[in-house]
Structure 1
Amino acid sequence: MCGPKHLDEDQRKRVADVYNHGSVVLGTDDGVSYWVLVVTGPQRGRVWLLSKVGAYPYPLPEALGFLEWVQRWHDGDGWWD
């Protein structure tokens, strides 16, 4: 993920809001969408994608667990190909 100095104010706020409310930012592919690991509540342990249009589980309709998400990323099995 880009360091905070590379993000504009809106992006820094989005990352801070997510990080401070039950999620850990895992990284970004493009600087405007962020992968987050939910660490509290009913989606705990699931990976979501936070973008300009909102947040949604990845993949739709049910989010992957962290281990499966990492395995897919490592294998190149995802939309980031």
Structure 2
Amino acid sequence: MDTEHAGPEDLRMLRAAFDTGEPLGWEAVRAFEAEHGITLPEPYRTCVAEIADGCGFGPPDFGLVPLAELPDDWGDDSPARELAKPFPLTEPWLWEEDDLPDDELGPMLEPVFGHGSIVLGTDGCGMYWHLIVTGLHRGHVWNICGEGAGPFGSEFGFTTGESGFAGWVRHWAEGKPWFDAM
């Protein structure tokens, strides 16, 4: 997974997957990055600038959300999003099975939902796909929901798909279920 350069094969696949999308353009992408103090990982960065900034169809189930937006079901009471702060997780965490009291768990979860990631979209029922933009998992796609969080990619054991945005889109475009290695 190369987060610094968009490979030609990945870009061809993304163009085919989002063939009806409208790009945001490089000026708007750079303005977003400057506003948030980040550089988006490739090939997502080139996809948004040149291919599609959001799309009314998957991935995920309810479509790819435009760069500066959140899914309709995100909620107004969510913590402030701070993209420049590192995403805190490096391994799956099923907090639903954690014995911590809610008053301790809540502050630990805020960074998971709000730091170091952009929301790619939702599969509904509070299940969101995030692209990590800062931290040790930069470039990886994570599924974060009310019960827990886990990274997408064959090395993490839940799927046969490749890590990163291109691997996540390719897996969807091939019609495979997200969690096909369980």
TM over 0.5: yes
Distance 1:34-1:58 versus aligned 2 partners, 3 A rule: same
Structure 1 runs of 4+ with >6 Å offset: none
Cα deviation code 1:18-43 (max 9, x no counterpart):
3x411000000113100000011110
Relative to its length, the structure with more strand (as a share) is 1
Q: Any conservation in 1 of the 2:152–2:163 contact (CA below 8 Å)?
A: yes
Aligned residues: 75
What TM-score, normalized to structure 1? 0.70
Is 1:67 matched up with 2:130? no
Identity across the alignment (%): 37
Larger Rg: 2
Residue of structure 1 in register with 2:142 after alignment: 48
User: Following the alignment from structure 2 to structure 1, what is the Cα–Cα distance between the partners of residues 163 and 80?
Assistant: 21
What TM-score, normalized to structure 2? 0.35
Which ranges in structure 2 are unaligned for 5 or more consecutive residues?
1-61, 63-70, 82-109
Higher relative CO (Cα under 8 Å, sequence separation at least 6) belongs to 2
Query: Could you say what the CA RMSD is over the residues aligned between the two structures, in angstroms?
Result: 2.9
Task: Determine helix, strand or coil for the equivalent of 2:168.
Answer: helix
Task: Determine helix, strand or coil for the equivalent of 1:37.
Answer: strand
